[in-house]
């Protein structure tokens, strides 16, 4: 019986193709793991600076945070970490500005303890403990801005409310300017677990040359948390919530090499920003999208819009540092910062690379983004003005409610 050469050739071609794909994938995994290892094991052949070589370089750092019902993480992790961080920066180079309002746990008690500890270290600070609850806020007579009509009546929009709180904790920045005190960086810290060395690495991103540098944040690893504010280098939201996250090639390439990742926007638990735009006239401020635009069932994070409005974003860029990983609880932090292993396994890298590839090949953000773009175009034509933070906007409506916030 004569061999069927066409069938044999097809089998050999399939086998050769499978072997090439396998070898290519393994090589790519090895490259990613090598980059991770360079960051994981500081030493004479490592591109990652050691803890001892990282310093605050005498920069003046303005630290801010807003809190609501965060007592447990405040007492367990955040307060000890903040006191250590502020002390490491040095009292002459740091200011801590905290705002809390309406918590029904003992966040106020925890922050009073923080105030006492900072006083013991002679750290300059302002800690506002506000009795105003969400219920108080939504019971007010609607103002000219920040309110929207929904099927339930006129409700208070969540994002303008949060933007107002973030602007409030920045007030000492301007008051201190009157005394000749100018800060180099503003450090925004969410209710996350972090260490002083994490913040050293964050501030040292790209040698300190950035409009903003963010960490990666996790609540339930391996999924990252802040999908609302993170946008890749092309302005798209996340392709996937697990590594390597991004659709844009530039963002994926940097992430695979464990280098600072160019993004259009990020927040992710901890973000350091060049302070100079906050001193300009008009000063950079947090905001929400206009109420008239939000009526079209659209919303954008104040933590994304700040980067869209920041003039330095175009020149110095916004960067995500994948080597700084924070957690919204201790278990999450430990899972992505284990001292005895890399934070990504070979299987996670291999699976992530292929899932990302398949999603890029067989999905598109066009349909989701076109809905937003259509509503935005209609608003811009009607209003005769432009929304610079178009890449921040999503098809959502968010309002404040007594126990937090809700979609409408």
d(Cα 342, Cα 48) in Å, to the nearest integer?
Answer: 14
- 3-class DSSP state for residue 397? coil
Average pLDDT over every residue of 185-213? 97
Residue 165 confidence (pLDDT): 97
pLDDT digits (tens, 9 = 90+) for 78-91: 999 999 999 999 99
pLDDT digits (tens, 9 = 90+) for 7-23: 667 776 677 666 777 77
d(Cα 210, Cα 226) in Å, to the nearest integer?
Answer: 20
Pick the CATH number of 51-407 from 3.30.390.30, 3.40.50.10420, 3.90.550.10, 3.40.50.300: 3.90.550.10
Q: Identify the bridge partners of residue 346 per DSSP, sorted by sequence position.
A: none
Percentage of the chain modeled with pLDDT above 70:
93
pLDDT digits (tens, 9 = 90+) for 272-306: 999 999 999 999 999 999 999 999 999 999 999 99
d(Cα 116, Cα 124) in Å, to the nearest integer?
Answer: 12
Give whichever of 10-19, 54-63, 149-158 has the largest mean pLDDT.
Answer: 149-158
- 3-class DSSP state for residue 14? helix
HSE on the CB side for 163, CA within 13 Å? 22
Report whether 123 contacts 61 (CB < 8 A).
no
Average pLDDT over every residue of 170-187? 96
55 vs 26, residue with greater confidence: 26
Rounded alpha-carbon distances, angstroms, from residue 341 to 40, 188, 351: 8, 29, 18
Longest dimension (CA), the chain: 97
Can you read off the two tokens belonging to residue 83? 């006191």
On average, the pLDDT of the chain sits at: 92
d(Cα 253, Cα 82) in Å, to the nearest integer?
Answer: 33
pLDDT digits (tens, 9 = 90+) for 236-256: 999 999 999 999 999 999 999
Average pLDDT over every residue of 223-242? 96
C-alpha radius of gyration, the chain, whole number: 24
Helix, strand, coil percentages, rounded to 5, for the chain: 45, 20, 35
pLDDT band at 41 (very low <50, low <70, confident <90, very high): low
CA 357 to mean position of chain CA atoms: 24
Phi, psi of 72 (to 5 degrees): -60, -50
């Amino acid at each position: 019986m004569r061999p069927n050469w066409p069938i044999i050739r097809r089998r050999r071609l399939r086998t050769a193709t499978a072997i090439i794909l396998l070898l290519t994938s393994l090589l790519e995994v090895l490259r990613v793991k090598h980059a991770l290892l360079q960051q994981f094991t500081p030493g004479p052949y490592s591109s990652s600076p050691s803890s001892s070589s990282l310093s605050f370089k005498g920069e003046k750092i303005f630290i801010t945070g807003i809190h609501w019902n965060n007592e447990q993480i405040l007492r367990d992790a955040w307060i000890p970490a903040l006191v250590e961080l502020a002390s490491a920066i040095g009292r002459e180079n740091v200011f801590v500005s905290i705002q809390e309002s309406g918590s029904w746990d003992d966040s106020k008690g925890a922050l009073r303890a923080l105030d006492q500890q900072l006083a013991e270290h002679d750290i300059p600070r302002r800690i506002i403990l506000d009795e105003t609850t969400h219920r108080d806020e939504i019971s007010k007579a609607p103002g000219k801005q920040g309110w929207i009509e929904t099927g339930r009546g006129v409700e208070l929009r969540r994002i303008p409310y949060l933007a107002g709180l973030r602007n409030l904790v920045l007030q000492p920045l301007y008051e201190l300017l009157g005394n000749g005190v100018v800060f180099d960086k503003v450090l925004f810290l969410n209710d996350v677990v972090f260490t002083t060395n994490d913040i050293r690495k964050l501030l040292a991103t790209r040698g300190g040359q950035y409009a903003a540098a963010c960490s990666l944040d996790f609540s339930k690893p391996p999924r990252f948390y802040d999908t609302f504010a993170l946008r890749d280098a092309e302005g798209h939201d996340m392709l996937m919530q697990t590594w390597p996250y991004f659709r844009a090639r530039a963002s994926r390439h940097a992430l695979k090499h464990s280098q600072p990742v160019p993004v259009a926007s990020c927040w992710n638990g901890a973000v350091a920003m060049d302070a100079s735009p906050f001193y300009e006239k008009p000063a950079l401020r947090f905001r929400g999208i206009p109420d008239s635009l939000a009526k079209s069932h659209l919303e954008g994070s104040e933590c994304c819009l700040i980067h869209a409005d920041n003039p330095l974003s175009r020149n110095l860029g916004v960067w995500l540092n994948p080597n700084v990983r924070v957690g919204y609880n201790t278990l999450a932090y430990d899972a992505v910062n284990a001292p005895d292993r890399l934070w990504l396994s070979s299987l996670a890298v291999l699976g992530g690379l292929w899932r990302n590839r398949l999603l890029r090949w067989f999905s598109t953000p066009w349909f989701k983004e076109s809905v937003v773009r259509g509503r935005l175009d209609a608003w811009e034509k009607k209003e005769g003005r432009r929304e610079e933070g178009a890449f921040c906007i999503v098809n959502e409506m968010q309002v404040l409610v007594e126990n937090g916030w809700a979609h409408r």
